[in-house]
Amino acid sequence: DAEITQSPRHKITETGRQVTLACHQTWNHNNMFWYRQDLGHGLRLIHYSYGVHDTNKGEVSDGYSVSRSNTEDLPLTLESAASSQTSVYFCASSESKSGNTGELFFGEGSRLTVL
């Protein structure tokens, strides 16, 4: 079955280190998204991509970057991790089709702790 996987599921890092969270989907979806979720808050959009070599900033993009070199993967990089980036990160994908209602498929999340 097609799926979307995130890795690592849990990571602890130190302030100032570079961290990359991986997201891989096997649905061949053009659209991929990264959200973060903090305790007591809903999901907030970080970055998204509509296809290879396309990236767009979301609501909370400062301190994060993404690159899309193929259809399957959208890695999220924290260039210099900060304690404020301690969060649960969710990757999602959706099909790109005219008239599509845009159902999103989410990964199981990556819990990042920055000490």
Partner 1 sequence: DAKTTQPNSMESNEEEPVHLPCNHSTISGTDYIHWYRQLPSQGPEYVIHGLTSNVNNRMASLAIAEDRKSSTLILHRATLRDAAVYYCILRDRNSGNTPLVFGKGTRLSVIA
Tell me how far apart the alpha carbons of residues 99 and 13 are, in angstroms, rounded to a whole number.
42
54 scored as a contact of partner 1 (CB under 8 A) = no
Residue 54 in tokens: 């396309």
Window contacting partner 1 (CB under 8 A); options: 18-26, 66-74, 78-86, 93-101: 93-101
The minimum distance between CB 29 and partner 1, in angstroms, equals 10
41: β partners? none
109 scored as a contact of partner 1 (CB under 8 A) = yes
The minimum distance between CB 57 and partner 1, in angstroms, equals 11
Q: Which of 51, 47, 48, 46 is nearest to 29 (CA)?
A: 51
97 scored as a contact of partner 1 (CB under 8 A) = yes
Give the contact letters, 34-53, x = binds to partner 1 (CB under 8 A), - = no: -x-----xxxxx--x-x---
Tell me how far apart the alpha carbons of residues 106 and 90 are, in angstroms, rounded to a whole number.
7
